[in-house]
Structure formats: structure tokens, C-alpha cells
Amino acid sequence: MLKRTLFEIGVEFPAYQASKEIVSQLGGIPATPIMLKAGNDGRFRRHFRGFTDADSLQPLLCS
């Protein structure tokens, strides 16, 4: 499913998905990408978990 989704959205960088065995060895919690957005004062203002498209991020990152 990961490969198909990345192909459909046109991702052009390597992406990997851990096997169930590796996830189990790491404590059973699957990792997901997390991005934190901080304000000019350095305090965290927002977080994103999982894939977030560029159209959603650009206004937030350019503010």
C-alpha cells in the first residue's frame, strides 16, 4: 500500500516501511512521520502526523 500511494502522489524520494517483525522488535508501535511547526518565539504552534500535502503546508510554513 505504501508503494502504491507514493507512486500515485508522485513522491520522488526513497521511502521505506518496516516489516511487522521489525516493528515488534521496536516495541510494537509503528512510527509515522511527525512534523512540528514552531512560531517566531520558538514555541510549538502545530503538529502534523503522517503525510501532509504541500498545498496544506505551504501557507503555514510561509507565515
Q: With 0.85 as the threshold, say if the pTM is over it.
A: no
**Tell me: the pLDDT tens digits for 1-44?**
667 766 777 766 666 677 888 878 877 776 677 777 888 888 87
Check the CA dihedral 22-24-26-31 and report its sign: positive
Q: How far is CA 55 from the centre of its chain?
A: 15
- Residue spans per domain, the chain: 2-61
The DSSP H or E segment spanning 47 is strand 44-49
The DSSP H or E segment spanning 48 is strand 44-49
**Tell me: the pLDDT tens digits for 11-22?**
666 666 778 888
- Please count the CA atoms within 13 angstroms of the CA of 46 that sit on its side-chain side: 11
